[in-house]
Amino acid sequence: MATPTQRTTAEWQAADSAHFLHPFTDFKGLARKGSRIIERAHNIYLWDSDGAKILDAMSGLWCVNVGYGQQALVDAAAKQMQQLPFYNAFFQTATPPAIALAELLAEVAPGFGHVFFSGSGSEGNDTIVRMVRRYWDVLGQPERTVIISRHNAYHGSTMAGASLGGMAGMHAQGGLPIPGITHIEQPYWWEHGRLAGLTRDEFGLQAARWLEDRILEIGADKVAAFIGEPVQGAGGVIIPPATYWPEIERICRRHGILLVSDEVITGFGRTGRWFGSETMGFKPDLMTFAKGVTSGYIPLGGVLVGDRVAEVLIERGGEFTHGYTYSGHPVACAVALANIGLIRELGLVERVHDDVGPYLAARFRELAEHPLVGDAETCGLMGALLLVKDKATGERFPDEAEIGMVCRAHCFLEGLIMRAVGDRMIIAPPLVITHEQIDEMVALIRRCLDLTLAQARSEGWAR
Q: Can you give the binding site for ligand PXG, defined by CB under 6 A?
A: 61, 120-122, 125, 154-156, 161, 229, 233-234, 262, 264-265, 290, 301, 419
302: part of which helix (H) or strand (E)? strand 301-305
Q: In angstroms, what is the minimal distance from the CB of 279 to ligand PXG?
A: 15
Q: In angstroms, what is the minimal distance from the CB of 37 to ligand PXG?
A: 19
Q: In angstroms, what is the minimal distance from the CB of 439 to ligand PXG?
A: 25
385 HSE (CA, 13 A, CB side): 31
Which phi and psi angles does 383 have, rounded to 5°? -145, 155
User: Which residue's CB is nearer to ligand PXG, number 120 or number 127?
Assistant: 120
Cβ count near 406 (within 10 Å):
21
Q: In angstroms, what is the minimal distance from the CB of 445 to ligand PXG?
A: 18
User: Which residue's CB is nearer to ligand PXG, number 161 or number 306?
Assistant: 161
For 372, residues 6+ apart whose C-beta sits below 8 A from its C-beta are 387, 388, 391, 449, 452, 453, 456, 462
User: Which residue's CB is nearer to ligand PXG, number 206 or number 339?
Assistant: 339
Q: In angstroms, what is the minimal distance from the CB of 265 to ligand PXG?
A: 5
Instruction: Using DSSP, state whether 220 is helix, strand or coil.
Output: helix
Report which residue type is found at 392.
A
The C-alpha atoms of residue 41 and residue 49 are separated, in whole angstroms, by 12
User: Which residue's CB is nearer to ligand PXG, number 113 or number 301?
Assistant: 301
User: Which residue's CB is nearer to ligand PXG, number 290 or number 432?
Assistant: 290
Instruction: Using DSSP, state whether 396 is helix, strand or coil.
Output: strand
User: Which residue's CB is nearer to ligand PXG, number 407 or number 453?
Assistant: 407
Which residues of 164-300 form beta strands (DSSP E)?
A: 181-184, 223-228, 258-262, 286-289
Q: In angstroms, what is the minimal distance from the CB of 58 to ligand PXG?
A: 8
Which phi and psi angles does 41 have, rounded to 5°? -155, 155
The C-alpha atoms of residue 295 and residue 121 are separated, in whole angstroms, by 13
Angle ∠(120,126,132) on CA atoms, nearest 5: 130
User: Which residue's CB is nearer to ligand PXG, number 133 or number 291?
Assistant: 291
Instruction: Using DSSP, state whether 447 is helix, strand or coil.
Output: helix
CA 333 to chain CA centroid, nearest Å:
20
Q: In angstroms, what is the minimal distance from the CB of 305 to ligand PXG?
A: 17
Question: Sign of the C-alpha dihedral, residues 390, 391, 397, 401?
Answer: positive
Closest CA relative to residue 454, chosen from 407, 393, 396, 388? 407
Q: Which residue is nearest to ligand PXG (CB)?
A: 121
Q: In angstroms, what is the minimal distance from the CB of 191 to ligand PXG?
A: 18
User: Which residue's CB is nearer to ligand PXG, number 270 or number 351?
Assistant: 270
Closest CA relative to residue 305, chosen from 116, 108, 100? 116
User: Which residue's CB is nearer to ligand PXG, number 212 or number 262?
Assistant: 262
Q: In angstroms, what is the minimal distance from the CB of 185 to ligand PXG?
A: 18
Q: In angstroms, what is the minimal distance from the CB of 159 to ligand PXG?
A: 12
User: Which residue's CB is nearer to ligand PXG, number 152 or number 437?
Assistant: 152
Closest CA relative to residue 16, chosen from 237, 197, 261, 4? 4
